[in-house]
Amino acid sequence: MDIISSCAEQLTPAGELHHLLTLDGLDRNTVAALLDRATAYLRPAGARPARDGALQDTTVANLFFEPSTRTRASFELAAKRMSADVLNLDVNTSSRIKGESILDTIYTLQAMQVDVFVIRDASAGVPAYIANHVQPHVSVLNAGEANLSHPTQGLLDILTIQQHNPDFESLAVTIIGDIAHSRVACSAVQGLRIMGTRDIRLVAPPGFEPDMANFPGTQFTHDIDSAIEGSDVVMALRVQKERIKEKSGLITNEQYLLKYGLTAERVRLAKPDAIVMHPGPMNRNVEITSEVADGAQSVIERQVTNGLAVRMAVLAAITESRKK
Amino acid sequence: MDIISSCAEQLTPAGELHHLLTLDGLDRNTVAALLDRATAYLRPAGARPARDGALQDTTVANLFFEPSTRTRASFELAAKRMSADVLNLDVNTSSRIKGESILDTIYTLQAMQVDVFVIRDASAGVPAYIANHVQPHVSVLNAGEANLSHPTQGLLDILTIQQHNPDFESLAVTIIGDIAHSRVACSAVQGLRIMGTRDIRLVAPPGFEPDMANFPGTQFTHDIDSAIEGSDVVMALRVQKERIKEKSGLITNEQYLLKYGLTAERVRLAKPDAIVMHPGPMNRNVEITSEVADGAQSVIERQVTNGLAVRMAVLAAITESRKK
Amino acid sequence: MDIISSCAEQLTPAGELHHLLTLDGLDRNTVAALLDRATAYLRPAGARPARDGALQDTTVANLFFEPSTRTRASFELAAKRMSADVLNLDVNTSSRIKGESILDTIYTLQAMQVDVFVIRDASAGVPAYIANHVQPHVSVLNAGEANLSHPTQGLLDILTIQQHNPDFESLAVTIIGDIAHSRVACSAVQGLRIMGTRDIRLVAPPGFEPDMANFPGTQFTHDIDSAIEGSDVVMALRVQKERIKEKSGLITNEQYLLKYGLTAERVRLAKPDAIVMHPGPMNRNVEITSEVADGAQSVIERQVTNGLAVRMAVLAAITESRKK
């Protein structure tokens, strides 16, 4: 498969967003405009959700080749609140059984006038590969790609941080967990660097050190306490239990929590008003204690709310560019 | 888990329905008002279905932790005909695999501005537990809880009986089957008692006698024929084959039918105009013969139609109370 | 089960389409009118899809007892673009597990005011059996029935051929593959014969010769090359690998391709402007080479587009007849 290695192909010649495959290479104006759009879709809890007719007569297909509740639900609600028709395809149980190639599935849906494909896949390069093959008016949104990229997650993380402190250049951000296998970390770091953050600290257990070539402009350490010290933002990643525990020797939940978990004690090392983030779903009392997850500094639910707004914003942006 | 043991928590301070967790403790006016609302949503077969814009901009999530066709379909169509956005989540195949707690799943969806959760779960206390933790503007509807409660089923059963004879005080109602493990029986009995029915007869095979503390105001017997005699309403419950047959020694379908099945001969023991009910799905020729299920006295399909109307009514009622 | 053996039952007394169970026995005017309706729903790629309010307040249930992505998606989008409410039921995982009879499932949904059932089932006779039992205002659409019938596929194939050359009487059409087990072949042949095509050539590997009583008015040969020679239309069927390879002795993909695959070389035996068709999903380089599938003569994606338009047309037609 061809893999889009830069972001060039996801923009129109006029520089507008046509696909969203990666944050890598987007400029600050593009990202800031998406965050502004998303902000306009936010509503207080209990209020009616924001609605927008921008995707009237547009068909969005959710193709999740990996199971997902939250991201699929978020994209589905985003599309419906933008007035799109939504088609959910659980691809595991149908075409792939029949051995059809992924491109033939896409071409088939495209021939049914599907306009937007939301793709989650465990293999690297699939969203870009599809984007390279669809018709010019069709858009592809990456909803999670291997351990490489999860751009709407990156955008919602940046939006959540901006709500805390929009002065990205001044921020210290610490990300803790299996950095090497985390598409969440990749996209968060890309987003932060676009916005100008210079102090990005990565922490992982032994055996999970990331390839630093993939994380330019960051510092790595095994020492979680020193990393958190003075941070404005502390983000815990989800532990993939099967993988991380055996390799790191931190077999039990208690061992992991002791060495790399986000505890109230550790959060106190950060700035007093620091925010605590997690992409979900959480393993409570493994990578984060319930005390921290439910504490006053946690913005974990706000991340979810921002995620829906960001996805509405991305749908609006690509629809505008497609209609030009 | 905390379990709501009274119905107090499901009402607003003004006594309006905010959640629907159980019929237990609802007063007759509340139930009668729901039945009136439901009746207003009934249409003749072949007519356009009733529509109501009351749930415009409201998002209803169906979370079924047990498989279900009919109840899920009924809630889905009820929500759509009330103009809600509907999100179906097959929770078995996604988050629970990932080990997320049920509350975190709820909080996540709540952060996406889901307003109503329709919950089916095999564990006792789950709907009430969730209701105790959601935001004030969010409602929880119990769509089947362990062997304890299935309140919309209870309401549809009461509505079906009322259509036959609204003089609940005068009725004799017989319920036959595995009473001990039946949430349908629980909710039907609660509903009947609220409406004033005094002659409620329960029949179960040996080994399946219910704890009568859970069924106050009813009489139990093993003698199906004497129980049916003179009844206005005869309700057969679904046999859970694996469970009931082995324990009762009624191993074959024929044996069960002979001893506890609803046959035409037995129905003739009831009043001449008695109605025959079954919550579905039926095991034909096990707990009920096809002759009875499809006979003139059967109201089994009317129960389904009433079920959809009842669910629309409940959605309307909680939406009104949420908007105040 | 009773099986509708003629098409009489799928028409109203006035001869209008009430169910769509089979193309067998439909007259040319009825088919031509459906193709005209479908044509009116076609739009260029990238344009807004056609919309029609004809199914406002109508509920369409997709009951797929066999897995399917493309046909289910096509019916779902067709129904949504006609303004229907759509209910997708994955029947494998719920009622059938519980042992409910298929008719009871249908009666239950009918009692919820479902108006149109779209049925795919591996057993012969199921759609007609259901059609014989639903209420007079309810319609049944066959979305694939055993190896017997797939009438909307037949219609889309006829529409695709008509776009190429509307002079059906003059056409030579060759269909290649496991004819004996192909509902696609059955419905295509029925459709072609209704439209007047006289030169229909069937090709199958040894061991897969069809019962010619089921394919009146066609010629059978094992000789693929002579069959293709001079054809206007060449249609490759999907290989059911498990079945066809063992029995035919063509164990490997290469062996099958060599003997019965549609290669560029073989396509050159057809008329220079011949079209190449495949119902999908394709086994590339088994029954068709990628060169042919993606070549200039391929109309495979156009078939998909036509399929959605045909399904909208069928929904419109049955809705008109139901409202009279």
ipTM: 0.94
C-alpha distances in angstroms, B300 versus B191, B268, B285, B295?
18, 18, 15, 10
| Confidence class for position B252, pLDDT limits 50, 70, 90 | confident
Examine the pLDDT at A3 and tell me if it is beyond 50. no
> What percent of chain C has a predicted confidence (pLDDT) above 90?
80
Residue pairs spanning A and B at CB distance below 8 A: 71
> What percent of chain C has a predicted confidence (pLDDT) above 70?
93
Q: Among B82-91, B242-251, B270-279, which is the least confidently predicted range?
A: B242-251
B70, B243, B286, best to mutate vs chain C, most C CBs in 10 Å: B70
Give burial (CB, 10 Å; 0-12/13-18/19+) of A242.
exposed
Residues 6+ apart with CB under 8 A from B236: B176, B177, B261, B262, B276, B277, B278, B287, B288
* Token output for C168: 């059906």
C-alpha distances in angstroms, B264 versus B13, B228, B255, B276, C223?
49, 12, 16, 10, 63
E-strand spans in B197-274?
A: 199-203, 219-221, 233-236
Residue predicted with more confidence, A4 or B204? B204
Q: Give alpha helix (H) positions in chain C.
A: 28-40, 70-81, 95-98, 102-111, 126-131, 151-164, 183-195, 224-228, 241-248, 253-260, 264-267, 290-293, 300-323
* Å between A268 CA and nearest CA of chain B: 24
pLDDT single digits (tens) C295-323: 999 999 999 999 999 999 999 999 998 77
Residue of C nearest to A323 (CA): C46
Examine the pLDDT at B295 and tell me if it is beyond 50. yes
Chain C residues with CB-CB distance to B304 below 8 A: 107-108, 111-112
E-strand spans in chain B?
A: 59-64, 85-90, 116-121, 139-145, 172-176, 199-203, 219-221, 233-236, 275-277
Q: Which of A124, A158, A165 is nearest to A142 (CA)?
A: A124
Residue of B nearest to A48 (CA): B57
Residue of B nearest to C112 (CA): B305
Averaged pLDDT for residues A254-276: 96
Quick one: residue B157, left, alpha or beta (phi over 0 = left, psi -120 to 50 = alpha)? alpha
A68, A69, A305, best to mutate vs chain B, most B CBs in 10 Å: A69
> What percent of chain B has a predicted confidence (pLDDT) above 90?
80
- List residues of C whose CB lies inside 8 A of any A CB: 43, 45-46, 48-49, 51, 67-70, 72-74, 76-77, 80-81, 241, 280-284, 301-302, 304-305, 307-308
pLDDT single digits (tens) C179-207: 999 999 999 999 999 999 999 999 999 88
Examine the pLDDT at C121 and tell me if it is beyond 60. yes
A66 close to A120: Cβ distance less than 8 angstroms:
yes
d(CA A10, CA A322): 12
Contact A43 B113 (CB under 8 A): yes
Averaged pLDDT for residues B53-82: 94
* Token output for A123: 């293999």
d(CA C311, CA C305): 10
d(CA B60, CA B199): 38
C100, C108, C117, best to mutate vs chain B, most B CBs in 10 Å: C108
Residue A68: what pLDDT? Answer: 85
Other Cβ atoms within 10 Å of B293 Cβ, number: 21
| Confidence class for position C244, pLDDT limits 50, 70, 90 | low
Mean pLDDT, chain A, whole residue set: 92
B237 close to B208: Cβ distance less than 8 angstroms:
no
**Cβ density class A157-173: b for 16+ within 10 Å, e for less:** bbbbbbebeeebeebbb
Residue B245: what pLDDT? Answer: 64
User: Whose structure tokens read 């053996």?
Assistant: C5
- Supply the DSSP symbol for B126: H
| Confidence class for position A9, pLDDT limits 50, 70, 90 | confident
Residue B7: what pLDDT? Answer: 52
Residue of A nearest to C281 (CA): A100
User: Whose structure tokens read 């879709």?
Assistant: A41
Examine the pLDDT at B111 and tell me if it is beyond 90. yes
Dihedral sign of CA atoms B208, B209, B215, B218 in order: positive
d(CA B113, CA B92): 22
Residue C76: what pLDDT? Answer: 98
Domains defined along chain B, listed by start:
28-150+304-323 (3.40.50.1370), 152-299 (3.40.50.1370)
Q: What's the half-sphere exposure (Cβ side, CA atoms, 13 Å) at C138? A: 26
Residue predicted with more confidence, B94 or C85? C85
Which residue among C98, C104, C135 sits closest to B46, beta carbon to beta carbon? Answer: C135
Examine the pLDDT at A101 and tell me if it is beyond 90. no
